[in-house]
Amino acid sequence: MRRWHGGSVLAAVALTRGGNVTIPVDGGPRPALALVDGDDVCAAVRAYCDGTPFKSTEVLKDASWSVTTGDGVGLPGADGCVRALAEAVQPRLERDWPATRARFAVRDDYLAGCVAADFGLDAEGPDDPLFALLAEAVAARDAASPALAEYNRRRTLLPPARRARHYRDVCLKLLPAHPGALDSLAVALRHAGRARAAELVLARGAGRGLWPSPYQRPAHHAANLTARPLWAAGALPGLERLARRTAAFGRELAVELARRADALVVRQAEGLARRLPGAPGDDWGWDEVALLKHGEVPDARVAARFAETLAAVRAAGAFFNAKFSILQPGTEILPHCGPSNARLRAHVTVAAAAGASLRVGAPDAKRVEWGAAPLVFDDSFEHDVIHEGADPRIVLVLDAWHPELPPERRRFELYGRLS
């Protein structure tokens, strides 16, 4: 990718823990951008760039060039100056985030690359009740810590706007450069109706290299793997043979769904499902029955109640996670991304439903419906589901390693919680 900054060629940015911060800039009319304690970072960047005559600066002499698909083109003038300086300043300040918070005023537009951004969210304040739980979990660095489990349970109960404030004012204080924290903020903003703000956050994350693109946002990215939203069923060995056993799967699941007590059916609790506007009745939602997690049966009752299903999944050999997903009519699963591109996800249809469709990838990607053939996709790409039909959509969800991932890298601890 070629990147032209309209005359602004940035030198190294020198930051120190004490004193002021000086940003040397080649190609501008002043020798440096200086930040002093208490400055609003983005306001200082804009003030430095305001009126900068970059448009008259000769960038290329006796040269010709063209722009083709995939090229990056910087903005000339003050806008290009802001963009270029923000790219240099922000990552370096984030390396010492606690000191940055103490010394400089940081606002919403900081998260969007100094692009003017009004996220429409009031300040949450320092007394967020979830702050201590998340701080304890971060300090422990333990994915199985009780504090993290309680934090995850409580954050899903927050309404969308409150959740967005929490991610902005709490998560990004503790984890300023964490791709999952920034993605969670963007998803919550979108759920709260702040689509433009969410797009700014996503573009900023991609620009900082936190994810491959605004529409493929794994918290844990495995490098050098083919990336495409939808895959052929043949990419996962044994999947098509497994799909021929759906009648047996359906019989076992029907018995479980009919239980009045001691049932393994659990309501999905990530806060991603909502009722479609105008949907009739109150029986909407997204339920699951977990069969395998990281290759292990999570509950002794599963082995007895789903013997045929488990035998078929294990015989296929490739799958380390398996669960039934039951989506009720009138339900929308909001746009989100899976934890890593190190896996591919397969859906084997147990009960198709007219009116249920899946989108994977860019917002304008073609929606697909569930049919007899298995559906395979990379769920690290953004995806959502809409069910406007009348009957439940039931699929067997299976996870397998990306076929190009070398055996020595097929370790769950490398990619967070692959569930």
Q: Does domain 230-415 have CATH number 2.60.120.330?
A: yes
Phi and psi torsions of 4, nearest 5°: -110, 125
Q: Are strands 3-4 and 72-73 parallel, antiparallel or unpaired?
A: parallel
Q: Give the predicted TM-score (pTM) of the model.
A: 0.80
Residue pair 243/370 in contact by the 8 Å Cβ criterion = no
Alpha-carbon distance of 185 to 292, in angstroms, equals 30
From first to last of its 419 residues, what are the pLDDT tens digits of the chain? 222 233 333 333 444 444 555 555 554 445 567 777 888 888 888 888 775 443 333 333 343 334 344 433 344 466 777 877 787 777 777 777 777 777 888 888 888 888 888 888 887 665 677 888 888 888 887 777 888 888 888 888 888 888 899 999 888 888 888 888 899 899 899 888 898 999 999 998 998 888 999 999 998 999 999 999 999 999 999 999 999 999 999 999 999 999 988 999 998 877 788 889 888 777 899 999 999 999 999 999 999 999 999 999 999 989 999 999 999 999 999 899 999 999 999 999 999 999 999 999 998 999 999 999 999 999 999 999 999 999 999 999 999 999 999 999 999 988 877 87
71: left (phi over 0), alpha (psi -120 to 50) or beta: beta
Q: Which residues contact 192 (CB under 8 A, 6 or more apart)?
A: 121, 160, 161, 163, 164
Q: What is the pLDDT of residue 127?
A: 67
How many residues belong to the chain? 419
Residue pair 382/332 in contact by the 8 Å Cβ criterion = no
Alpha-carbon distance of 22 to 33, in angstroms, equals 6
Q: What is the pLDDT of residue 51?
A: 54
- Give the residue extent of every domain in the chain: 3-106, 131-207, 230-415
Neighbours of 12 (CB within 10 A): 9
